[in-house]
Amino acid sequence: EPEVTQTPSHQVTQMGQEVILRCVPISNHLYFYWYRQILGQKVEFLVSFYNNEISEKSEIFDDQFSVERPDGSNFTLKIRSTKLEDSAMYFCASSVVRGGRNEQFFGPGTRLTVL
Amino acid sequence: DAKTTQPPSMDCAEGRAANLPCNHSTISGNEYVYWYRQIHSQGPQYIIHGLKNNETNEMASLIITEDRKSSTLILPHATLRDTAVYYCIVSGGSNYKLTFGKGTLLTVNP
Contacts of B45 in chain A (CB under 8 A): 106
Q: Measured between CA atoms, how close is B40 to chain A, in angstroms?
A: 10
User: Residue B92 has what pLDDT?
Assistant: 83
Beta strand B9-13 with B61-64 is: unpaired
B42 touches chain A (CB under 8 A): yes
Nearest CB to B32: which of A33, A56, A101? Answer: A101
User: Residue A35 has what pLDDT?
Assistant: 98
User: Residue A96 has what pLDDT?
Assistant: 87
Mean pLDDT of the residues in chain A: 94
Contact predicate B87/B99, CB 8 Å? no
User: Residue B1 has what pLDDT?
Assistant: 54
What are the tens digits of pLDDT across the range B45-100?
999 999 999 999 999 999 999 999 999 999 999 999 999 999 999 988 777 899 99
Q: Compute the residue count for chain A.
A: 115
Counting as low any pLDDT under 50, the low residues of chain A are none
CB contact under 8 A, B96 and A102: yes
* CA pair distance A112, A9, nearest whole angstrom: 9
CB contact under 8 A, A101 and B45: no
Q: Is B106 exposed, middle or buried (0-12, 13-18, 19+ CB in 10 A)?
A: buried
Contacts of A95 in chain B (CB under 8 A): 96
User: Residue A102 has what pLDDT?
Assistant: 86
- Preceding omega of B7 cis (within 30 degrees of 0): no
User: Residue B42 has what pLDDT?
Assistant: 93
Q: Scanning every residue of chain B, which has its alpha carbon at the shortest distance from the alpha carbon of A58?
A: B97
Contacts of A44 in chain B (CB under 8 A): 100
3-state secondary structure of A84: helix
CB contact under 8 A, A100 and B96: no
